[in-house]
């Protein structure tokens, strides 16, 4: 339970493409112990997709590790597709995947947008959740979206000025709409520069100290297009949930164990949201990493997330 290092790299034991409807197909994979406690990894964004390193937060001898790419993201197809892509669709996709894999209940692990989707899914299907590991809390309130688009200027002015440089003076009064128009343009000569600019902005603001590797990852074509299109789409539509819905319904999860991990200097998803969630969910264990920003790969956050999955081995073992 004192482990803080990521587990060694492993390969999936099973993977596949699961048809969701006439348009969308979902990439999924399993690794670890086929007879172990199921854990579902929910990636961020929306639209960022998953990576092989995400398997490494979990003990493969104990957990049945399920990772997938949400519709419109990563290896799911079609990439960047906004049609039939809403939070209720994503919640149903998790249920479709759970049923496809024959899983009754699972531990839910998600950071940033993954924490948003974890809460939305848990509140819709609390009986299917064994508990939650949540990082970099994003409740998708209007204030949080405005902060991402405008407030980050106070801490990352250089990145913000680069972000808005392609926009006219009038467009900067509504950054989201201006980027939305560009990102949804069918011409790659229009939408790809916008996607890379969006990804560069988010990547530049995601770590406490500058990380060229993070920026490079966020500006790769697949990540940038999925991330920028999906974020703009969900932000334009208020994530397809009523304002403050996640906190208003958190009482449905009060009996569930949870561990919240938050970087003190998370600029992308400021700590106030994690604090609000913890105050609304007294049972949730709350850990603030004093020398970290937003990224799951910040050393202190990475260590705390591994410790959380180790702790759940004891919690879930006792429950069973």
| Residue 22 main-chain phi, psi, to 5 deg | -65, -20
Provide the mean pLDDT of the chain. 96
HEC sequence for the chain = CCCCCCCCCCCCCEEEEEECCCCCEEEEEEEECCCCEEEEEECCCCCCCCCHHHHHHCCCCCEEEEEECCCCCCCCECCCCCCCCCHHHHHHHHHHHHHHHCCCCEEEEEECHHHHHHHHHHHHCHHHEEEEEEECCCCCCHHHHHHHHCHHHHCCHHHHHHHHCCCCCCHHHHHHHHHHHHHCCCCHHHHHHHHHHHHHHHHHCCCCCCCHHHHHHHHCHHHHHHHHHHHHHHHHCHHHCCCCHHHHCHHHHCCCCEEEEEECCCCCCCHHHHHHHHHHCCCCEEEEECCCCCCCCCHHHHHHHHHHHHHHHHHHHHHC
Q: What is the average per-residue pLDDT within 252-269?
A: 98
Tokens 């500058």 sit on residue: 210
Is 21's pLDDT higher than 90? Answer: yes
pLDDT band, very low/low/confident/very high, at 1 (cuts 50, 70, 90): low
- Structure confidence at residue 317 (pLDDT): 83
Tens-digit pLDDT profile for residues 273-284: 999 999 999 999
Please tell me the distance from the alpha carbon of residue 131 to that of residue 284, in angstroms, as a whole number.
10
Provide the pLDDT for residue 126: 98
The dihedrals phi and psi of 262, each to the nearest 5 degrees, come to -140, 130
Instruction: Please give the radius of gyration of the chain, using alpha carbons only, rounded to the nearest integer.
Output: 18
Residue ranges covered by each domain of the chain: 14-141+241-319, 143-239
**Confidence check: pLDDT of 114 > 60:** yes
What is the structure's pLDDT at 124? 98
pLDDT of residue 186: 96
Neighbours of 140 (CB within 10 A): 26
Cα 234 to chain centroid, rounded:
13
Pick the CATH number of 14-141+241-319 from 3.40.50.1820, 1.50.10.20, 1.20.120.1150, 2.60.120.460: 3.40.50.1820
The CB density around residue 209, as the number of other CB atoms within 10 Å, is 8
Burial of 9 (0-12, 13-18, 19+ CB in 10 A): exposed
Which is nearest to 20 in space by CA: 58, 63, 74, 72?
A: 72
Instruction: Return the active site residues.
Output: 112, 266, 294
Structure tokens at 16: 């596949």
pLDDT exceeds cutoff 60 at 229: yes
What's the average model confidence in pLDDT over 157-170? 98
pLDDT at 318: 58
Would you state the pLDDT for residue 94? 98
Please report the pLDDT score of residue 196 as a whole number. Answer: 98
Q: Residue 276 has what pLDDT?
A: 98
Give 277's contacts (C-beta < 8 A, 6+ positions apart): 119, 134, 137, 139, 247, 250, 260, 284
Query: pLDDT class for 67, splitting at 50, 70, 90?
Result: very high
């Amino acid at each position: 339970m004192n482990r803080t290092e990521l587990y060694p790299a492993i390969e999936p034991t099973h993977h596949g493409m699961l048809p969701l409807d006439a348009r969308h197909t979902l990439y999924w994979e399993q690794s670890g112990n086929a007879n172990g406690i199921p854990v579902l990894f929910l990636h961020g964004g929306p639209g960022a997709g998953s990576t092989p390193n995400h398997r490494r937060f979990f003990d493969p001898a104990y957990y049945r590790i399920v990772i997938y790419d949400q519709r419109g993201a990563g290896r799911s197809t079609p990439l960047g597709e906004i049609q039939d892509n809403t939070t209720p669709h994503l919640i149903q996709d998790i249920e479709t995947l759970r049923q496809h894999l024959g899983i009754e209940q699972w531990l839910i692990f998600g950071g940033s947008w993954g924490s948003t989707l974890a809460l939305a899914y848990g509140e819709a299907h609390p009986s299917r959740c064994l508990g939650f590991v949540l990082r970099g809390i994003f409740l998708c309130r209007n204030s949080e979206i405005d902060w991402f688009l405008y407030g980050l200027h106070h801490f990352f002015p250089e990145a913000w000025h680069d972000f808005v440089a392609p926009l006219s003076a009038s467009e900067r009064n509504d950054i989201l709409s201006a980027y939305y128009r560009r990102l949804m343009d069918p011409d790659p000569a229009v939408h790809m520069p916008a996607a890379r600019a969006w990804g560069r902005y988010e990547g530049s603001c995601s770590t406490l100290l500058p990380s060229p590797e993070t920026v490079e990852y966020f500006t790769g074509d697949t990540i940038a297009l999925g991330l920028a299109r999906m974020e703009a789409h969900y932000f334009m539509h208020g994530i397809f949930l009523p304002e403050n819905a996640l906190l208003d319904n958190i009482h449905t999860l009060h009996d569930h164990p949870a561990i919240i991990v938050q970087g003190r200097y998370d600029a992308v998803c400021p700590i106030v949201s994690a604090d609000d969630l913890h105050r609304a969910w007294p049972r949730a264990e709350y850990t603030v990493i004093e020398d970290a920003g937003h990224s799951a790969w910040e050393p202190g956050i990475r260590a705390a997330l591994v410790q959380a999955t180790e702790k759940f081995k004891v919690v879930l073992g006792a429950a069973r």
